[in-house]
């Protein structure tokens, strides 16, 4: 008998894969975020992580597919896999265009993630890989929430880039509890989940900083000013990532569930951009 947490995922949240394509090749050759090198590099650095990262998420959830008894959770897993596969495709396209424009081989950008994933496949057990996925899905969910809650984060960005990030953030919100619910359904422990989050937070931060340094290697102005201004952009009074600490720490609570942060109202306000959809307010 599997313990189901689906009752804590709101009934009216549908996971709808939207097969979107974005016309961004030319834009990526520029500092598309209001001409600002730091802001552009911050988003670009995260994009670099997604194709390999999202394939890892898909694989780690699929490894447990046969053990999921709840048909509703099975259906939500299918939605999750479909959404992440399309994200993967669009960010691959994004990254290829970006690296071509910046003259940096994509293989070089992805080398660190590749090494970590090889390690994970060789030395970690499936439940440990799933646990890492649960932690990363929470990080993406709270950043997605910040995208909508703190619109200053994408203010001044090229409209097509803004649309891409909104689309991704919307779908990350829709499927934010899937990996978590699978982890619980197959008996994943609180201890493992918390430990993974502590390790993953450090890893994720190091990956983003490394990618940003590579992307900004030809920056000609003062680096101190660039990073100081950038930290204010992220964590300052109107920072793009302000307010993330509490939802981040909530993950460490014993009875945490991703939909404890019920942001359906917030997300529904941007859904009209994407032809309506799934996260309907009650």
Reading the block at residue 21, the tokens are 């394509």
In the complex with Fe ion, the residue whose CB is nearer, 153 or 171, is: 171
Question: Judged by CB under 5 A, which stretch of 25-33, 80-88, 97-105, 195-203 contacts Fe ion?
Answer: 80-88
State yes or no: residue 88 binds Fe ion (CB under 5 A). Answer: no
Q: How far is the CB of 53 from Fe ion (least distance, A)?
A: 8
Reading the block at residue 157, the tokens are 């960005």
- Can you tell me which residue has the tokens 């993630």? 113
**Residue burial 136-164, b: 16+ Cβ < 10 Å; e: rest:** bbbbbbbbbbbbbbbeebbeebbeebbbb
Residue whose Cβ sits closest to Fe ion: 87
Question: Judged by CB under 5 A, which stretch of 34-42, 82-90, 218-226, 234-242 contacts Fe ion?
Answer: 82-90
State yes or no: residue 33 binds Fe ion (CB under 5 A). Answer: no
User: Read out DSSP for 104-164?
Assistant: --HHHHHHHHHHHHHHHHHHS-HHHHHHHHHHHHHHHHHHHHHHHH-GGGGTTB-HHHHHH
Question: Judged by CB under 5 A, which stretch of 15-23, 39-47, 103-111, 171-179 contacts Fe ion?
Answer: 171-179
What's the CA gap between 27 and 29, in Å, rounded?
A: 5
Element holding 76 (H helix, E strand): helix 71-102
State yes or no: residue 87 binds Fe ion (CB under 5 A). Answer: yes
What's the CA gap between 109 and 103, in Å, rounded?
A: 11
In the complex with Fe ion, the residue whose CB is nearer, 31 or 92, is: 92
In the complex with Fe ion, the residue whose CB is nearer, 145 or 172, is: 172
In the complex with Fe ion, the residue whose CB is nearer, 87 or 158, is: 87
What's the CA gap between 44 and 131, in Å, rounded?
A: 26
Q: How far is the CB of 218 from Fe ion (least distance, A)?
A: 29
Total residues contacting Fe ion (rule CB under 5 A)?
A: 3
Query: What string marks each residue from 38 to 77 as x (binds Fe ion by CB under 5 A) or -?
Result: ----------------------------------------
DSSP state for residue 279 in the 8-state scheme: B
Q: How far is the CB of 138 from Fe ion (least distance, A)?
A: 10
Q: How far is the CB of 228 from Fe ion (least distance, A)?
A: 31
Contacts to Fe ion by CB under 5 A:
84, 87, 172
């Amino acid at each position: 008998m599997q313990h189901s947490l689906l009752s804590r995922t709101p009934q009216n949240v549908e996971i709808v894969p939207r097969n979107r394509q974005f016309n961004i090749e030319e834009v990526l050759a520029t500092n598309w975020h209001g001409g600002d090198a730091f802001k552009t590099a911050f988003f670009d650095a995260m994009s670099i992580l997604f194709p390999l990262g999202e394939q890892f998420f898909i694989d780690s959830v699929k490894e447990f597919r046969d053990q999921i008894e709840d048909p509703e959770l099975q259906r939500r897993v299918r939605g999750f896999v479909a959404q992440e596969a399309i994200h993967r495709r669009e960010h691959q396209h994004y990254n290829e265009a970006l690296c071509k424009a910046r003259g940096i081989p994509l293989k070089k950008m992805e080398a660190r993630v590749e090494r970590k994933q090889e390690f994970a496949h060789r030395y970690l057990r499936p439940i440990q890989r799933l646990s890492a996925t649960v932690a990363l899905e929470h990080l993406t969910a709270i950043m997605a929430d910040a995208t909508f809650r703190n619109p200053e984060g994408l203010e001044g960005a090229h409209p097509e880039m803004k649309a891409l990030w909104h689309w991704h953030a919307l779908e990350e919100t829709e499927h934010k509890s899937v990996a978590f619910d699978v982890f619980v359904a197959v008996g994943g422990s609180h201890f493992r989940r918390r430990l993974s989050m502590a390790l993953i937070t450090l890893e994720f931060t190091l990956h983003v900083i490394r990618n940003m340094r590579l992307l900004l290697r030809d920056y000609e102005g003062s680096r101190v000013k660039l990073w100081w201004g950038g930290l204010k952009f992220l964590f300052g009074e109107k920072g793009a990532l302000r307010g993330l600490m509490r939802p981040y720490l909530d993950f460490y609570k014993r009875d945490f569930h991703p939909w404890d942060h019920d942001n359906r109202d917030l997300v529904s306000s941007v859904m009209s951009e994407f032809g309506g959809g799934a996260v309907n307010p009650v």
